[in-house]
Structure 1
Amino acid sequence: MGYYIGIDVGSVTTKLALIDEQGEMIWSTYLRTEGGPIEAIQKSFGQLSKQGYDIEKDIKGVGTTGSGRHLAATMVGADIIKNEITAHATAAKFVEPEVRTVIDIGGQDSKIIFIKNGVSVGFNMNSICAAGTGSFLDHQATRLGIPIEQFGEYALRSKSPVKISGRCGVFAESDLIHKQQLGYKKEDLVAGLCIALVGNYISNVARGKRIEPVTIFQGGVAANVGIRAAFEQKLGMSVLVPKYHSVMGAWGSALLAKQWKARVNESTKFRGIECISSYECTPKTFSCMDCSNNCEINELYIEDQLASRWGSRCGKWASLEKSSSDQEEIRDFPLKSGLEKQAVNYDL
């Protein structure tokens, strides 16, 4: 037997998926990142170690994705690093080979992926407007006094949805507060908000491109049955929500690790479940101002040893062999502008 691990580290949540040789999900976890991606990754592996799986020696490959994919890759010893679009599309095609459109709404951004004949042919992202994302819905649910788990159910009970402006998150919230003050029922407010947010998605994310079946809805927001119903009403078609919709990015990165193993047949660089759960990681960053790029260089130290460095566009800081004294010398060298290079540490 062989197993593969996928990790998706986002700004709001961290997901981990364990799959078998057939690509099927064995186990997964979904945690709030809460501003601490290192702790969230370690907690995920801590949960995995308690499941009783005797898989340590049978891990064949590890993949990472998400905004924190480079950090996660260094921490765990990943074999492949891929962007979110590739990871989500890979998982969607595994779940439904005939998929043509992937609607993905996460904690802080939204994306749409177009697939033709099993190949991704385009995508759009919306990372500016928060309307419709998980964090926005969480905020509105709290303000209305509704558990987020019941938010969609309220929408389905509505008989007369209220018209809410969905041009952006600010307008949507402002209009929702105004309509609430007029005494509308919560279920009508929630239903109107779901319809408005779906309209916003189609306008600002799909941007006029045709959404064709089979359409898969994934990401944390796919758990909201009100949003799903609004999509089906607006598009005039059924929308498939996979069983593991909230961890599709992690699943996709695990599948990509499986593909990597089949292609190169190399040994994994995985550090080990118990090791990852216990060692100390310290991220640091500094700005290199030797040219107009002003690159922000990210470093990760594991047990006080520099393990990885990324963010250099020219490759100057790609080597791990530069000593700390070299770094201090470059940071302290005065530029013509009189600015000085400064090291900045972020406690994540």
Structure 2
Amino acid sequence: MEQATGAAQADHMPACGAGSGTTGGAPLDEVLHVGLDIGSTTTKVFVLDPTANETRYWRYQRHNARQTLSAIEALREVGKRFPGARLRVAVTGSGARDIARALGAAYIQEVVANSIAVRELYPQVRCAIELGGQDAKMIFFHKAEPDGALTVSDMRMNGSCAGGTGAFIDEMAKLLGVPTEGFEELAARGTTVYEISGRCGVYAKTTSSSRALLTVPSRRRWTNSWRVSRNAASPGLNAASPAPSTS
């Protein structure tokens, strides 16, 4: 395994809730870039062919608080699928620093990793919001002079409450008996918005539980849970947000 250097290119990851995918093995001594994301609730691994800029394999799964073990399992699976390849590994995520050190791999702070991906793949974007398992991050971009390169202006993080983040969405999906993968689609079918506290995930869950017990139609429960998720993440992210850029 080699330590990754510089900002590796990234391909588009298929949208999915959990699972894996692959497009075949690797010739002997082929160099592949491996991105390992150890988050607060899930572990993601992504294998990129840097020559063809193609996705070769990806895997997304919950680690159930077993971050180190999940990283070992993910890399073992990559090794099995590409036995002849030389792997250049970079690690990111809230649980990545110690794992990167143990692997001798490059550690990239997660906001930095997000900004690199946005600048490379979506240069038209001026604001990116990432809802993690237990926090939310908002990154602002602007075009720098004189070359117009996309540059990070500011970053906000909702780190004091998990309301509106992935953990909250998981809890609401469990409460309502629906899969997280279909939560957004189901929410779009709702027609009525109820008053539910959006300042705290705990309060929002309590109110939503009462609504559920009062036989509010399921499609309305989905809609309101999704709305609360959006609102709960907003206060911390919007605080002192920079003015919109016109560039």
Render the CA deviation track for 1:195-251: whole Å, top value 9, x for unaligned: 1221222222132526869xxxxxxxxxxxxxxxxxxxxxxxxxxxxxxxxxxxxxx
Of 142, 155, 168, the match for 2:174:
142
Instruction: Kindly indicate which of the two structures has a greater share of residues assigned to helix.
Output: 1
Name the residue aligned to 2:191.
159
For residue 93 of structure 2, what is the aligned residue in structure 1?
A: 66
Moved over 4 A (4+): 210-213
Task: Measure, in 1, the Cα distance between the counterparts of 2:188 and 2:41.
Answer: 27
* Match status 1:92 vs 2:118: yes
Shift of 1:40: 0.3
Whether the 8 Å contact between 1:110 and 1:205 is mirrored in structure 2 is: yes
- Alignment of 1:105 onto 2:131: yes
| 8 A contact 1:33–1:40 mirrored in 2 | yes
1:1-348 counterparts in 2 under 5 A?
Answer: 2-21=31-50, 23-51=53-81, 53=82, 55-57=84-86, 59=87, 61-78=88-105, 80-117=106-143, 118-207=150-239, 209=241
Measure the CA separation in 2 of the matches of 1:112 and 1:176: 26
Q: Which has the higher contact order (CA 8 A, sep 6+)?
A: 1
- The secondary structure found in structure 1 opposite 2:59 is strand
Q: Which residue of 1 aligns with 2:18?
A: none
CA RMSD after TM alignment: 2.3
Question: Cα deviation per residue 1:3-46 (whole Å; 9 max; x = unaligned)?
Answer: 21121112211111112225543322112121212210111012
In the alignment, the residues of structure 1 paired with residue 139 and residue 72 of structure 2 have an alpha-carbon distance, to the nearest angstrom, of: 31
CA drift at 1:101: 0.7
Q: Which amino acid aligns with 2:64?
A: E
Q: In 2, are the aligned partners of 1:162 and 1:191 still within 8 Å (CA)?
A: no
What's the % identity of the aligned pairs? 29
For residues 55 and 117 of structure 2, the distance between their equivalents in structure 1, rounded to whole angstroms, comes to 11
Given residue 16 of structure 1, which amino acid in structure 2 is its aligned partner?
Answer: V
Count matched residues. Answer: 210
Contact 2:32 2:85 in 1 (8 A): no
Q: In the TM superposition, what is the alpha-carbon distance from 1:177 to its structure 2 partner?
A: 1.8
Inter-CA distance 160–208: structure 2 relative to 1 (3 Å threshold): farther
Q: Is the 8 A contact 2:49 2:55 kept in 1?
A: yes
Contact between 2:31 and 2:49, CA under 8 Å: does it hold in 1? yes
Write the distance in 2 (CA, Å) between the matches of 1:39 and 1:178: 38
Q: Residue 82 of structure 1 aligns to which amino acid in structure 2? A: I
Give the Cα separation in 2 of the matches to 1:27 and 1:44.
11
For the Cα contact (< 8 Å) 2:42–2:62, is it kept in 1? yes
**1:211 and 1:176 mapped to 2: Cα distance?**
34
Shift of 1:150: 2.5
1:248-301 per-residue CA deviation (whole Å, 9 max, x = no partner) reads xxxxxxxxxxxxxxxxxxxxxxxxxxxxxxxxxxxxxxxxxxxxxxxxxxxxxx
8 Å contact 2:186–2:222 — kept in the other structure?
Answer: yes
Residue type of the partner of 1:97?
P
The C-alpha deviation readout for 1:76-112, integer Å capped at 9, x for no partner, is: 221x212111001111222212221111001111111
Q: Is the 8 A contact 1:31 1:44 kept in 2?
A: no
What letter corresponds to residue 76 of structure 1 in structure 2?
A: L
Q: What are the ranges of 5 or more consecutive residues in structure 2 without an aligned counterpart?
A: 1-29, 144-149
- Residue 211 to residue 143, structure 1, CA distance change in 2 (3 Å): farther
Paired letter, 2:125: V
Letter in structure 1 aligned against 2:58? S
Q: TM-score, normalised by structure 1?
A: 0.56
TM-score, normalising length from structure 2? Answer: 0.77
Q: Distance in 2 between matches of 1:131 and 1:64?
A: 26
> For the Cα contact (< 8 Å) 2:187–2:222, is it kept in 1?
yes
